[in-house]
Amino acid sequence: MKISIGNDHAGPDYKKAIVKHLEEKGITVINHGTDTFDSVDYPDFVHPVAEDVATGIANFGIIICGSGNGVAMTANKHKGIRAALCWIKEIAELARRHNDANIISIPARYTSIQQAIGMVDVFLNTEFEGGRHQNRVDKIACK
């Protein structure tokens, strides 16, 4: 499995902990995030993650900013991307199970690092349920 990750200045500590956690599990991580707390523009770090997922370079993406909203909005502009803003494990699970989300958006200012790692684990280990949900997912993208 290959994961692409990106973050702005609100998420370097989160990214570092998540990358370490994933690499310890043998997962390859492509890092597009900043490593500093200096103010940056989150789209510069999110567009590469969305491109990695959209083109199949990565299986899934992880994006992190203060609220999780800006990065999710940015990623969702890409065709084939379904970025889900998650703040608890149950939302991360439903995002995968019902919405076939392929990028998880984490709000660093509203979750702990341990919560974020738990959400990532649930997100990556939950399969899309398909069935009645497939028809809904098929209607998400604009034509």
Kindly name the residue from 9, 32, 78, 98 that is annotated as catalytic: 98
Q: What are phi and psi of 142, to 5 degrees?
A: -75, 150
Decide if 98 is catalytic. Answer: yes
- Nearest-Å Rg of the Cα atoms of the chain is 14
Report the candidate in 58, 108, 104 with the shortest Cα–Cα distance to residue 85.
104
- Note the residue count of the chain: 143
Residue 85 contacts residue 107 (beta carbons within 8 Å): yes
Neighbours of 120 (CB within 10 A): 25
Kindly name the residue from 9, 21, 32, 65 that is annotated as catalytic: 65
Residues annotated catalytic, as ranges: 65, 98
